Amino acid sequence: MKNRFKIWQFLLLIWIITLLIRFELLINTYDLIFSWLILLISDLDTALSQISFDLLDSMIAGILFIVIPLLSIIYRKKLGFLYGKVFPAAIFLILLITCFLFAPLISNKNPDFYKNIGITKLLPPLSSVQVLHFKNDQNFQPSESFEKFLFLKDKVVKKSFDESIQYLDSISTGGKIIYYQNGIGKEANRESLLLRVKDPFITKQMFILGSDQFGRDVLTRLIYGARISLMVGFGSVIISLIIGLTFGFLAGYGGGLPDAVFSRFTDMLLSFPIIFLVVLILALFGNSLLSVIVVLGFSSWMSLFKVVKTEVLSIKEKNYFVSSKLLGLSKKQLLFNEVLPVIIVPIIVNVIFQFGNVIIAESALSYLGLGLGNNYPSWGSMIQSGQEYLSLAWWMIFSPGITLIFTLLSANSFGISLSRKLNPRLQND
């Protein structure tokens, strides 16, 4: 039973579950995209001025939610891995990538959402809090297209505040409605509340992985933190791939002076603890998402350089390479047509391990307070703030810590299994 479970079935399962849970949100998102497109045609300036990161994020997630399944159905013949068997590392990586792409769809809160800190702070996992809902203009019927767009945007894009709810400890609904927060009773006007028949409308909200010191949901922050880790991972790996490949090819192919220069430079970087260099650059030149990616990319190409250089040195002597060089191929053609196909396996394996290293480095930087600041949740900074509340809230370190370990474990085991699969010599053993 377990062995027959294929990757495409798992993906379909995630898709259906998301569809069922977030059906209303998805419909609103598509409505939003549609009304934005109408606005774009009728009033270009207003449409462009409304664009923000969160809006684009929600709209892109909504589009990808339809486009990716369609594309993978169309190109299913080419995507061989979809028919592979499911294994734990793949499950975890797929979940991470889903979080990366569809974070606004999966989570139902803004990662920075907080309200009534006194009640919601440092809640243990699986605890739930009562929520009292106030009336807002939910029943407002927009007439103009712009009003409709704003109305939908309000619904789809999650904000870090919400005036229409109150978290509460207990409530008494006799003649007057009085809700208690931290022992202080407040009277609520019956007209201002959402009512279910006669009683006030009270729901329960569960904090599945608990909440942090500001009453923010840990699970939501974990989901959004996956984005930072993966983004930094992909970005820096691409940069280090480009640098390592170019330098390695130039040093191996050129020999002599270029080899000496590049090798000395690599030795210099290797004989200095890279983390200090990264900290130095980030502390002196400021830290943002882009600078973290660039600095980590520039400081992790050395092992790739060594791999490429040694491989190129051995390829250089081969007959096919010499003959294609004599045919007059340019350096670029030599690299992409003659060298890359041969060394692609060690490069891919190296890149996957590099990916894990970069994620470790990013989380360590966030832990030291040099990540992306407090603008965006990241696993490392979550652990850092959790360390202060160690005696009160173990979940604040364990949920991001275990997620981090699982991510790195699955990246490692994915790399190992890939290198076994791609390496013909190991396959025969």
Partner 1 sequence: MRSTIARLLIKRIFSSLIILFLIITFLFFLVRISPGDPVQKFVNPTLSPKLAEQVRESLNLDKPIHMQYIGFLTSAISGDLGVSYNFRRDVSSVILEYLPFTLLFTSVSFIFQMIVSFWLSIKSVKKINGLFDRALSNITLLIYATPVFVTGVFLVFIFSELLNIFPSSGLSSYDSADFSFWARLTDYIYHLILPIITLSLIEIAIFYKYLRDNLEDVYNKLFVLNLRASGVSEKDILLKHVIPNAINPLITIAGIELGIMLGGTLIVEVVFGLPGMGRLIIEAIFTRDYPLVIGCSLVVSFLIIFSNFLADIIKAFLDKRLLTGSLN
Q: Provide the binding-site residues for partner 1, judged by CB under 8 A.
A: 264, 267-268, 271-273, 275-276, 279-281, 283-286, 356, 360, 363-364, 367-368, 380, 383, 386-387, 390-391, 394, 397-398, 401, 404-405, 408-409, 411-413
Q: In whole angstroms, how close is the CB of 295 to partner 1 at the nearest point?
A: 12
Select 249 or 367, whichever has its Cβ closest to partner 1.
367
Distance, CA of 222 to CA of 216 (rounded, Å): 11
Residue closer to partner 1 by CB (options 86, 361) is 361
Residue 240 or 287 having the CB closest to partner 1:
287
Coil, strand or helix at 178: strand
């959790």: which residue's tokens?
386
Question: Among all chains, which residue has been given the structure tokens 């090798």?
Answer: 263
Residue 295, Cβ neighbours under 10 Å: how many? 24
Amino acid at the residue 411? A
Residue 402: CB atoms within 10 A of its CB come to: 11
**In whole angstroms, what is the distance from residue 29 CA to residue 26 CA?**
5
**Residue 259: how many CB atoms within 10 A of its CB?**
16
SS (H, E, C) 389-410: CCCCCCHHHHHHHHHHHHHHHH
CA distance 215 to 239: 37
Q: Both tokens of residue 253?
A: 């192919």
Q: Which residues contact 412 (CB under 8 A, 6 or more apart)?
A: 353, 356
CA distance 146 to 131: 31
Give the three-state DSSP class for 214: coil
CB of 387 to partner 1, least distance (A): 6
Q: Which two tokens stand for residue 86?
A: 């499911």
Dihedral in degrees, nearest 10, Cα atoms 394, 398, 399, 405: 170
Q: How far is the CB of 291 from partner 1 (least distance, A)?
A: 12
* 341's tokens: 């196909």
* Residue closer to partner 1 (CB basis): 21 or 283: 283
Backbone angles phi, psi at 179, to 5 degrees: -110, 145
DSSP assignment, residue 338? I
* Minimum distance from residue 250 beta carbon to partner 1 (Å): 19
Smallest gap from Cβ 189 to partner 1, in A, equals 45
Instruction: Count CB atoms within 10 A of the CB of residue 48.
Output: 10
* Residues in a beta bridge with 193: 134
User: For residues 53 and 276, which CB has a smaller minimum distance to partner 1 in the complex?
Assistant: 276
Comparison of 168 and 281: residue with beta carbon closer to partner 1? 281
CB-wise, 177 or 282, nearer to partner 1?
282
**Distance of closest approach, residue 280 Cβ to partner 1, in angstroms:** 5
In the complex, the smallest distance separating the C-beta of residue 263 from partner 1, rounded to whole angstroms, is 11
Helices assigned H by DSSP within 157-288: 218-254, 256-270, 274-285
Minimum CB distance to partner 1, residue 406 (Å): 8
Q: Which is nearer to partner 1, 80 or 286 (CB)?
A: 286
Nearer to partner 1, 186 or 420 (CB): 420
Sheet of 184-188, strand order: 170-173, 177-181, 184-188
Minimum separation from the CB atom of position 393 to partner 1 (A): 11
User: At closest approach, how far in Å is the CB of 15 from partner 1?
Assistant: 29
Closer residue to partner 1 (CB): 279 or 294: 279
